[in-house]
Amino acid sequence: MSTTSVLRTVVIALGGNAITAEDQSGTYAEMLVNCQRMAKAVNALVDGGWRVVVTHGNGPQVGNLSLQQGAAEPTVPAQPLSSLVAMTQGWLGGLIELALRNTGSASMPPVVSVVTHVVVDPRDPGFLKLTKPIGPFYEKDAAQARTDELGWQMVEDSGRGYRRVVASPHPVSMLESDAIATLVDKGFLVIAAGGGGVPVIRSQGLLQGVDAVVDKDRAAAILAAQLKADALLLVTGVDSVLLDFGKPTQRALHDVGAEEMLRHNDDGQFPSGSMGPKVEAAVEYLGQCNGQAVITSVDKMVPALEGMKGVGTRIRRTTVRVP
């Protein structure tokens, strides 16, 4: 590990689709290989002197787990969606932890996974308009059959097929942020807020889980702000954020201010089902911290975060309007 005198903290948001790729079924072997690829990039950041907190998505995995729950009834009672999020935290956190340990250098820090809860507002409009895709992709006829049989709401997802959508309220705070901060200060590499965290609401003075899946990028932004992290790194399937995606005028953004990103978002450049939440999460973090937000692919994590010209999309703090 680097002996740099200035310790920098980065919160990394890895996608659930990076753990189970679009063309994969989600076997243990497939996910482990994908986690090892991500772990190598994370460990390169550790070797570069960064203190790292890893968050991850769970869209494909929590959807598959939901299918298993339904198939096992009535022999095994199905559990609520909030419990399935907790299950995927342990499941995927364990895979990522093994991959980090197996690919890290001899000087890598100790690794720990934290089951994390995120507080949401029961009045959030995300409970009324379902937007978060989970589970596998379906052809149109198969999607309609799921709707007819199970009452699921299905939407077309970025031209790749149809997926089930569930409630996705915005995170307000993370219950374990103080514990995570203590672990980071003690030198641990922490895996936390898996799947956006287990969503909970406060009701009559008590905390209780709710049926929802919080967007992992928004949760990572909340955690990064609560930790006062130096950087938020949002990992996606492209090297840089693109304007006019798929058009002859398509072009990459590399170094841009937060206000400009919001203008592009308002112009409809970043769909709500793909890049939109990442851009909004980045700007939300920058509204609370004087750090940097970076959006890039797994393979470009290190050079993008270190500021290599023409690599990744780095968003600077300007006079920020939080969406």
User: Catalytic residues, which ones?
Assistant: 16-17, 132, 216, 278
Q: Find tokens 């200035």 and name the residue.
A: 6
Burial class (CB in 10 A: 0-12, 13-18, 19+), 173: middle
Cβ proximity of 293 and 286 under 8 Å: yes
Cβ neighbors of 246 (< 8 A, separation 6 or more) are none
Half-sphere exposure of 208 (CA within 13 A, CB side): 8
DSSP assignment of 210-221 equals: -S----HHHHHH
Is 184 in a helix, a strand, or coil? Answer: helix
The closest of 191, 164, 169, 146 to 55, measured between CA atoms, is 191
The closest of 54, 39, 41 to 188, measured between CA atoms, is 54
Cβ neighbors of 57 (< 8 A, separation 6 or more) are 13, 14, 15, 16, 17, 18, 19, 195, 196, 216
The pair of structure tokens assigned to 210 is 């709710």
Sequence-ordered strand ranges (E) for the chain = 8-14, 50-56, 111-113, 117-120, 132-138, 154-156, 162-166, 171-174, 189-191, 198-203, 206-209, 231-236, 241-243, 251-253, 255-257, 292-297, 313-316
